[in-house]
Amino acid sequence: MLFAAGLLLSTLVLQDAPATDTTSRSRLTALPVVSYSDVTGIQYGATALLGFRAGSDAATRASSVSAYGSRTAKGHAKVYAQFDRWSERNDTRRRLRLEYMSYPLPYFGIGAQSRESDEEWYSSGVTTVQLFSEHRLKGPAYVHVGGRYVRSRLRESGADGVLGLDDVPGTPGSSRLIWELGLVIDSRDNVGSPRRGTWARVIPSFGGSRPTSDLAPRLTMDARRYYPVGEHHVAAIQLQYDGGSGSMPFDLMPMIGADTAIRGYARGRYRDQHAFTAQGEFRSGYWRKVGAVGFAGAGTVAPSFSHVSKGPWFPSVGAGLRYLLVPKDRTVARLDLGIGRGSFGISLGIGEAF
């Protein structure tokens, strides 16, 4: 199991407009990041976020250009660049993301009954290109059209592990082109740190090794609701389902364990054809730009949809700190400690977990 500890060394906020400004002027936030684990050694890098608004309407949501890059003492790396733009009056959203990652991750097998004793480590070089566009239908309803290309190549695996035998789908590598068409409901008052409103999406997709054939269906559903509590606090809940049919590469299977959902488990600790997670979070107000959160949730995986409700379920609880980077846009830096069944994890990020 990967136990990671991280530290935000400093926060540098460069602004070319005052906090009361409501125009399209931009703000740049840069964060050096350092973390450590016994698997990767010291990890060092930086992330930057350039926020701006299209047009002069103050109700237009903030758009952003962001980038992240890091490298570990043992030669692993992660880099991404992302462009996320809302049009004036929020009628259209477009996002392009390019990412490469080659980090060591644990693999325990497939299914909710996978054992700790089956743990083995692997590293894949994964290249992802994602592009989607969302267009307003009426009110908070948007149609979502998009695609993803994911190319994975197994770089390292345990000499005595099952991944080295090429018996697991997706080894020694895979390429998938995935098409998406779905519906999004978005009534949040703020994209990065909502206090009220709903964000929900239903995204059917089809993916395969070729653009027009060998396509397997998949369904992703994600529903989030935000409730103001008093003048400054927020309660948030999230329900997620991810499932599909056909043969999937093991590293693209629905899974639980992440730094945003069911925190406290390593990424992909449990994976199968179907996954369901539920979590809630209470977020305090800010005192001198510092806030706190408490969260709890549970998740499960199953080989078929009919078995999702039968468990077993894996709980997660934890707490975290928030630092308000840009008060006007409610952009926050996040530090969370999650505790799972026999495991824990520390995660860092920009923006709320959900």
Q: What is the pLDDT of residues 77-104, one digit of tens each?
A: 999 999 999 999 999 999 999 999 998 8
Between residues 36 and 280, which one has the greater pLDDT? 280
Total-model pTM: 0.85
Between residues 248 and 94, which one has the greater pLDDT? 94
Residue spans per domain, the chain: 5-350
User: Long-range contacts: 340-343, Cβ < 8 Å, 24+?
Assistant: 340/257, 340/262, 340/263, 340/264, 340/265, 340/269, 340/314, 340/315, 340/316, 341/314, 341/315, 342/116, 343/1, 343/264, 343/265, 343/266, 343/269
Q: How confident is the model at residue 213 (pLDDT cuts 50, 70, 90)?
A: low
pLDDT at 19: 36
- Overall average pLDDT of the 217-231 stretch: 96
How is domain 5-350 classified at the CATH fold level? Porin (2.40.160)
Q: Which amino acid makes up residue 15?
A: Q
* Angstrom distance (rounded) from CA 295 to CA 316: 8
Q: How confident is the model at residue 12 (pLDDT cuts 50, 70, 90)?
A: very low
Cβ(40)–Cβ(78) below 8 Å: no
Residue 21 has pLDDT above 60, yes or no: no
Q: What is the pLDDT of residues 59-75, one digit of tens each?
A: 899 899 999 999 988 78
Q: How confident is the model at residue 38 (pLDDT cuts 50, 70, 90)?
A: low
pLDDT at 104: 83
pLDDT at 186: 97
CB atoms within 10 A of CB 228: 14
Residue 198 has pLDDT above 80, yes or no: yes
Cis ω before 194 (30° cut-off from 0): no
- Overall average pLDDT of the 190-197 stretch: 90
